[in-house]
Amino acid sequence: MRLRNVKNKEEILNNSKFLVKDYFENCGKWSSVFGNDNPIYIEIGMGKGKFIRENAKTYPNINFIGIEKYDSVVAKCLPKIDEDLENLLIIRMDALDIDKVFNKEISRIYLNFSDPWPKARHHLRRLSSRVFLEKYNSIFKNNMEIYMRTDNTDLFTYSLESFSQNGYSLYDISLDLHSSVEDENFITTEYEDRFSSKGMPIYSVVAVKDVKSSK
């Protein structure tokens, strides 16, 4: 992935109160970090952060954590966060470390327009692969909920199979999400806006698994 450098990137990253740098030390303690026992939802691969920011503003009784690997992308998100938000934090990290950062404290995962890793030899890098689903097992607090959206047909088909093979039940499967959305406050990502405006279909699914069945 080729990313443009962001002016004053280091200054932005060093001075934002929303960016958590000692995230490994907070494993199992995120409710204390937020200062409440509200549910915690995470978005893995948040991009520029429109989705997670708008959710945090819309649902103040839910804590949100946006996760993104690339510092240039994080630096674009941070200045756009309303300073008075108290239920949003951002982590710059590789998702492979997800099970070292959270421990039985997450209520929902959002996978929005994840990297499709199209080559077959890279499929286990997909965020819906067996490798990652096994990591997610240890981070969920109660029932496991994964909300996924993508514009990539191959990734979507692969994900449906992967979820099913790993004990998830599938709900609200859509092959054209925006054609059925009636809520005028429906929250989208930057990527989603760009592609849906061109008439491209957005695929979505909700995958749910009883946390007991993962033990």
Which of 151, 153, 163, 147 has its CA nearest to residue 43?
Answer: 147
Cα(78)–Cα(46) distance, integer angstroms: 12
201: its two tokens: 């279909």
37 a catalytic residue = no
Beta strand extents in 14-62 (DSSP E only):
19-20, 40-44
Cα(63)–Cα(85) distance, integer angstroms: 10
Beta strand extents in 106-168 (DSSP E only):
108-112, 144-150
Cα(138)–Cα(98) distance, integer angstroms: 9
Active-site pick, 71, 97, 99, 115: 115
Active site members: 115
